[in-house]
């Protein structure tokens, strides 16, 4: 290619070509550049490739380079890097396969016609080689991303599916990605490849930055693997390969979608599997999956509706209903009064309709329901009928019922303040039976207060149930701060770190937006009791925790011993001082039920909460005020 600028040291420089003012000449020069680049061995090739990467990221829908042969060029460059290690190790060519695969993924993520052009250009075989791990995990990350985009479209999925190993490789990568990144990069600081560090930080160096970005990229590697598997899961012929117990049991714990909101994550893939009859049987046969689905269904995150869908489909299927019904019904009963959840309308009505089907199917002899489960279903159906009756009741009668419920609630508050926790819980139950169904705000307070009693009585499952009911009744859904905090504590009692962490973070978010002086954060700082819980759960739910347990801690020169990242880095939560949230002089059990948030005078380890801990620093007291 002819030199365009006398000031440029590189013959046929891509950047000089792009400055050509004549569109026809520029297109001809770019076409020639794409054809010749893979055959050249000059220094400085990474510069135009990185420039193309920036262009692809900024303008992924621009067809110009597609028409001029960019896919053929990128495919050839990946092959060159795989086959010619001498060239790959020269200058900065080690970066080129990464950028080339990234460019393919960027240009195929939105436009089906671009994806078709990529397949015709032969990009799949070299991407598969990267997926196999022929280079490193960094190239695997962008290869699985590109293949996932190609698998999204109906016209290009068959080309992906024709490479049978892609699905198997993706499954293995989803299961092992965190361990791969930990053991090949994160663990040994002094052995990190320099080009990996450069790609991760892009000029913002430092070991801490590298480590944080490695966690993000490891999560992306997992979530893009799940996205690719999800494309296969829509086709029933691939379900036997996907629905193997060793993979299914790990799916609920795959949180890859936290980094990429468009990722299905593990729960999204389970939803795709459960949507199909062939997939529901293997899921129902794994008790651990059902337990995890139940926890996610109660959660307050973006995936809650996906877990609810899974549980409803399992209940509606006669072949799986009997396997899961005793575990699933108590959870869905807690959720039966939920209405709108994001874009998903009338979830509670859907739950009640499925319960009706369960009762009817028992009557027809198609399934068997235990007496206890049947009683739970009938109770929640009766409450729905009770709401209909209330619509025809005189207002005076409803006011009398509401006043009676208030009197009983106050009795419960008095018992709670005097230390009779079991008696208070009984009074709150009595008040709930009296309170009109449509008095949602009062019922939120009653359920939340009873949840606090269950916490003090060391009954975390009952506390989770009541807190969940309060969150479902609240408007907006899942935004009642005190119920979030109580459920976070209950999850902590059960050792469910991720669930506790999510609720604790949501609790902090709600506090920061509250006008209640007892709820609002003082000077925008995190309450120390919430800080301690979040820090504890961040350690327990650390992305690389299992890999660190298996392979050992992080090493670097001069270390006195093993080091676990989150165990030693509290900087993210060093925002609250000892004196920010202190004892305000009120009685430990609170002033009536006015929302006093006491904090112990001494900071304690949260690892082993005692009864005193719960009553003091880790306790959000009863709330009389309507939320």
Q: For the domain 8-173, what is the CATH code?
A: 1.25.10
More confident residue, 437 or 515: 437
What pLDDT band is residue 518 in, cutting at 50, 70 and 90? low
The fraction of the chain above a pLDDT of 70, given in percent, is 82
What mean pLDDT do residues 445-473 have?
A: 97
Q: Which of 283, 323, 325, 287 is nearest to 306 (CA)?
A: 283
Distance, CA of 267 to CA of 305 (rounded, Å): 10
Q: Which of 214, 299, 293 is nearest to 259 (CA)?
A: 214
Identify the three-state secondary structure at position 623.
strand
Supply the DSSP string of 287-336, one letter for each residue: HHHHHHHHHHHHS-STTHHHHHHHHHHHHH-HHHHHHHHHHHHHHHHHTT
What pLDDT band is residue 521 in, cutting at 50, 70 and 90? low
What mean pLDDT do residues 315-340 have?
A: 94
pLDDT in tens, 409-424: 999 999 999 999 999 9
CB of 500 closer than 8 Å to CB of 506: no
CB of 53 closer than 8 Å to CB of 98: no
Architecture, CATH, for domain 393-546: Alpha Horseshoe (1.25)
Distance, CA of 286 to CA of 226 (rounded, Å): 20
**Range with top average pLDDT, 223-237, 516-530, 613-627:** 223-237
What mean pLDDT do residues 270-284 have?
A: 95
What mean pLDDT do residues 279-290 have?
A: 94
What mean pLDDT do residues 528-541 have?
A: 91
Q: CA distances (Å), 378 to each of 384, 386, 429, in order?
A: 10, 12, 18
Has residue 13 got a pLDDT over 80? Answer: no
The predicted pLDDT at position 391 comes to 85
Burial class (CB within 10 angstroms; exposed 0-12, middle 13-18, buried 19+) of 598: buried
What pLDDT band is residue 205 in, cutting at 50, 70 and 90? low
Q: Which of 326, 332, 324, 388 is nearest to 355 (CA)?
A: 332
CB of 313 closer than 8 Å to CB of 276: no
Write the CB contacts of 57 (distance below 8 Å, at least 6 apart in sequence).
Answer: 102, 106
Distance, CA of 304 to CA of 302 (rounded, Å): 6
The predicted pLDDT at position 38 comes to 92
The predicted pLDDT at position 341 comes to 86
Distance, CA of 122 to CA of 152 (rounded, Å): 17
Has residue 483 got a pLDDT over 90? Answer: yes
Has residue 595 got a pLDDT over 90? Answer: no
Strand partners, 158: none
Q: CA distances (Å), 261 to each of 140, 219, 408, 505, in order?
A: 20, 12, 45, 18
pLDDT in tens, 434-447: 999 999 999 999 99
Q: Determine if the peptide bond prior to 476 is cis (ω within 30°).
A: yes
What mean pLDDT do residues 83-108 have?
A: 95
pLDDT in tens, 150-160: 999 999 999 99
The predicted pLDDT at position 558 comes to 53
Has residue 593 got a pLDDT over 60? Answer: no
| Predicted structure pTM score | 0.84
Q: CA distances (Å), 395 to each of 7, 398, 430, 473, in order?
A: 88, 5, 21, 22
Write the CB contacts of 469 (distance below 8 Å, at least 6 apart in sequence).
Answer: 334, 337, 447
The fraction of the chain above a pLDDT of 90, given in percent, is 60
Enter the DSSP assignment of 128. Answer: H
Has residue 368 got a pLDDT over 80? Answer: no
Write the CB contacts of 77 (distance below 8 Å, at least 6 apart in sequence).
Answer: 37, 38, 49, 96, 97, 100
- Domain positions in the chain: 8-173, 393-546
Return the number of other C-beta atoms located less than 10 Å from residue 361's C-beta: 17
**121-125, 188-192, 212-216, 516-520 — which is least confidently predicted?**
516-520
Distance, CA of 241 to CA of 247 (rounded, Å): 10
The predicted pLDDT at position 406 comes to 95
Has residue 605 got a pLDDT over 50? Answer: no
Q: How many residues does the chain have?
A: 627
Has residue 614 got a pLDDT over 60? Answer: no
What pLDDT band is residue 563 in, cutting at 50, 70 and 90? very low
Distance, CA of 197 to CA of 507 (rounded, Å): 36
Rg, C-alpha atoms of the chain = 29
Distance, CA of 597 to CA of 580 (rounded, Å): 12
pLDDT in tens, 240-257: 999 999 999 999 888 765
Strand partners, 341: 344
Return the number of other C-beta atoms located less than 10 Å from residue 396's C-beta: 8
Distance, CA of 162 to CA of 156 (rounded, Å): 10
């Amino acid at each position: 290619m002819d030199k365009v600028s006398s000031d440029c040291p590189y013959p046929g420089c891509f950047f000089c070509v792009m400055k050509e003012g004549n569109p026809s000449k520029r297109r001809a020069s770019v076409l020639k550049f794409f054809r010749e680049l893979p055959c050249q061995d000059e220094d400085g090739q990474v510069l135009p490739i990185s420039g193309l990467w920036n262009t692809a990221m900024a303008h992924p829908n621009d067809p110009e380079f597609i028409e001029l042969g960019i896919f053929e060029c990128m495919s050839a460059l990946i092959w060159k890097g795989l086959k010619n290690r001498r060239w790959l190790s020269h200058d900065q060519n080690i970066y080129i396969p990464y950028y080339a695969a990234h460019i393919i993924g960027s240009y195929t993520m939105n436009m089906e016609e671009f994806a078709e052009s990529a397949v015709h250009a032969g990009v799949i075989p070299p991407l598969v080689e990267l997926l196999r791990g022929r280079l490193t995990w960094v190239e695997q990350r962008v290869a699985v991303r590109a293949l996932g985009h190609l698998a999204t479209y109906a016209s290009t999925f068959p080309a992906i599916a024709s490479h049978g190993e892609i699905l198997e490789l993706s499954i293995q990568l989803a299961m092992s990605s965190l361990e791969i990144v930990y053991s090949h990069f994160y663990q040994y600081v002094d052995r990190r490849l320099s080009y990996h560090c450069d790609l991760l930080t892009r000029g913002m160096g430092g070991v801490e930055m590298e480590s944080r970005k490695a966690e993000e990229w490891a999560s992306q590697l997992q979530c893009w693997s799940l996205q690719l598997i999800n494309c296969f899961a829509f086709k029933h012929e691939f379900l036997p390969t996907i629905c193997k117990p060793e993979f299914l049991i790990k799916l609920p714990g795959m949180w890859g979608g936290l980094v990429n909101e468009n990722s299905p994550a593990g729960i999204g893939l389970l939803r795709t599997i459960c949507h199909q009859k062939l997939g529901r049987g293997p899921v129902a046969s794994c008790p651990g999956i059902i337990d995890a689905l139940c926890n996610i269904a109660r959660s307050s995150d973006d995936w809650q509706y996906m877990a609810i869908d899974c549980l409803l489909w399992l209940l509606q299927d006669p072949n799986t209903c009997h396997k899961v019904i005793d575990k699933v019904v108590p959870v869905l009963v807690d959720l039966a009064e939920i209405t709108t959840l994001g874009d998903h309308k009338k979830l509670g009505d859907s739950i009640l309709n499925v319960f009706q089907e369960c009762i009817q199917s028992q009557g027809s002899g198609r399934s068997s329901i235990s007496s206890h489960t049947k009683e739970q279903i009938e109770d929640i159906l009766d409450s729905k009928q009770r709401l209909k009756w209330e619509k025809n009741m005189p207002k005076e009668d409803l006011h009398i019922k509401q006043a009676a419920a208030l009197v009983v609630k106050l009795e419960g508050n008095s018992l709670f303040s005097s230390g009779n926790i079991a008696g208070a819980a009984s009074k709150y139950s009595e008040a709930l039976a009296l309170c009109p169904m449509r008095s949602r705000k009062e019922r939120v307070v009653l359920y939340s207060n009873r949840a606090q009693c269950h916490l003090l009585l060391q009954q975390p499952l009952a506390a989770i149930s009541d807190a969940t009911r309060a969150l479902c009744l609240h408007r907006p859904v899942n935004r009642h701060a005190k119920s979030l905090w109580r459920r976070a504590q209950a999850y902590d009692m059960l050792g469910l770190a991720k669930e506790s962490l999510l609720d604790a973070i949501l609790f902090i978010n709600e506090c920061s937006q509250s006008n209640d002086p007892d709820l609002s954060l003082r000077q925008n700082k995190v309450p120390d009791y919430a800080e301690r819980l979040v820090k504890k759960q961040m350690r327990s739910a650390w992305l690389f925790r299992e890999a660190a347990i298996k392979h050992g801690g992080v090493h670097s020169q001069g270390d006195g011993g093993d080091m676990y990242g989150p165990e030693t880095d509290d900087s993210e939560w060093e925002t609250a001082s000892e004196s920010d949230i202190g004892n305000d002089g009120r009685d430990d059990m609170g002033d009536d039920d006015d929302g006093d948030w006491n904090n112990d005078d001494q900071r304690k380890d949260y690892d082993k909460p005692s009864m005193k801990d719960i009553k003091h620093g880790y306790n959000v007291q009863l709330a009389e005020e309507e939320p």
